[in-house]
A and B are shown apart, each in its own frame.
Chain A
């Protein structure tokens, strides 16, 4: 009888924990979806709201992309973290969800620059900032909420579901965009169809709010509130008290900074490298990343769970160290496998097509060259050259406007395609090693009364600032090795020095100063 009662009670606990995880994860996933559709549709948004001929609007476009991505997220972490420690986790991450969903929905409704002029980019800019703020508050809330419901010894496992949401959110965004684009056609999609993924967010958020409304507050927070132990000033306690500030610093320098750069390198930099340095064709490169991410995603849970057994530190540090050591060899292979200089051309298969499209008196000459190689690789080069008929216009146009546009596309054969998936997958495994256990690690080093505030800031600085800057700084490092305009960079792998340096420093700090204690969460 006693055994039966215990079994029922255990079953109820498992069901309840599953509900908590599902409710938290779905909301966080939707927030990532909202955040990513802006980035994925950046080109269309730029055309609709940020016309290039208006310098102020163009500057706002740059700011919108960067500011919301990294500067605003830590502010969101501070604002909502404080709120979460004062009024509770549940209501705070409900608010972040409403703000994120509301601003995403509103972006889908804002009239374009052609209709309301400067107001269009200004409104979109403000809405994007709100998105960044909301994202800054969401993650810490979801991780804290799940961790505070999780049984001791399974915190790494349960919180690792939250860790999968960023990757799954990206999938959802890409999936919705592809389906809408496919259904409406490219032209209609570029005209107004792009608004649908934004508007759809309202529905997704409504569902998530409904689920979250039915959840109860974190038991640890409720207990603490009953006992009157909540913090009166979480910000001051988190960052002014030496005992806690030193843990914030160790979390940032020894864990989240390294984790952030490994996360961005393994997912976004890999895609950018395939497309820009290796010239791998758009669809093929996206498939390489998507398949690697799909195969790799369960490893977030594997490493989260493993961290319950052997400790968070060892897994995270191993992930960083292997990444630091392996990045250059991995990218050298990727670059070499796609490099046409290493391949033998089947000369007789070379085809050159020239088209001359005349618009008025102007002409656009398109030259398409296709080449085949003995290993099965194909190469397509499209060169578009504009020739304005009016000599006065030709003279007035800046030189770069008249420069032919060149697009290079390498399509890899099956074996190299699979090899590339394998090479990206290895990087995704590094991502899962550093990212899988980090939510549990962060919630465990801070006390319940200031947990939301304290863990959110290092997470969003590590991810938003250190990680978010990977594309910008890495591109810059590669450009610095370019001997002259139009010439290829001397070291196309130079961009890796930034993630290698940050992850290397993080590894040293983390290894020296982080404790590998597990389940040391303060529940008082």
Chain B
């Protein structure tokens, strides 16, 4: 179980890293295609609020899991 937790830790960390360029690229593409106020507000919320939370939490959580910090948390 611990090995699976650690392997998945790497997955979470990579997901956290990968999400940043993906979201920014998509935002730039959509705003360039239609620079409306609605688009700006939507992507601002995603980039300023949602993305940092997802990226930070996934990366930190992933690194912790990879280092085995969660190995001892088992069901009883």
Contacts and interface: CB of A to CB of B under 8 A. Distances in A.
A196 interface: no
Contacts of B74: 515
Given A313-B75, A465-B53, A514-B73, A250 B61 contact: yes
B41 to A, nearest CB: 6
Contacts of B10: none
Contacts of B64: 242, 246, 249
Nearest to B45: A66
A78 interface: no
Contacts of B58: 253
B20 interface: no
B28 interface: no
Contacts of A512: 4-5, 8
A515 B69 CA distance: 13
Interface string B53-76: 100011011001100011001111
B3 to A, nearest CB: 12
Contacts of A66: 45
B contact patch SS: helix
A194 B8 CA distance: 52
B24 interface: no
B49 interface: yes
B75 A516 contact: yes
Contacts, number: 55
A349 B75 CA distance: 63
A316 B13 CA distance: 24
From A245, A249, A465, name the one whose CB has the most chain B CB atoms within 10 angstroms: A249
Interface in A28-84: 59, 62, 66, 70-71
A42 to B, nearest CB: 16
B61 A70 contact: no
B70 A246 contact: yes
Contacts of A517: 75-76
Nearest to B41: A62
A461 interface: yes
B76 A249 contact: no
A513 interface: yes
B57 A513 contact: no
A461 B54 CA distance: 10
A252 B8 contact: no
B75 A472 contact: no
Interface string A199-243: 000000000000000000000000000000000000000000010
A509 interface: yes
Interface of A: 59, 62, 66, 70-71, 242, 245-246, 249-250, 252-253, 311, 313, 461, 465, 469, 472-473, 476, 508-509, 512-517
Given A246-B61, A472-B45, 19 more contacts: A66-B45, A71-B49, A242-B69, A246-B70, A249-B57, A250-B61, A253-B12, A253-B61, A461-B53, A465-B49, A469-B50, A509-B61, A512-B5, A512-B8, A513-B73, A514-B73, A515-B73, A516-B75, A517-B75
17 contacts: A70-B49, A249-B64, A250-B73, A252-B57, A253-B12, A253-B57, A253-B61, A461-B53, A465-B49, A472-B42, A472-B45, A476-B42, A509-B61, A512-B4, A513-B73, A514-B73, A515-B75
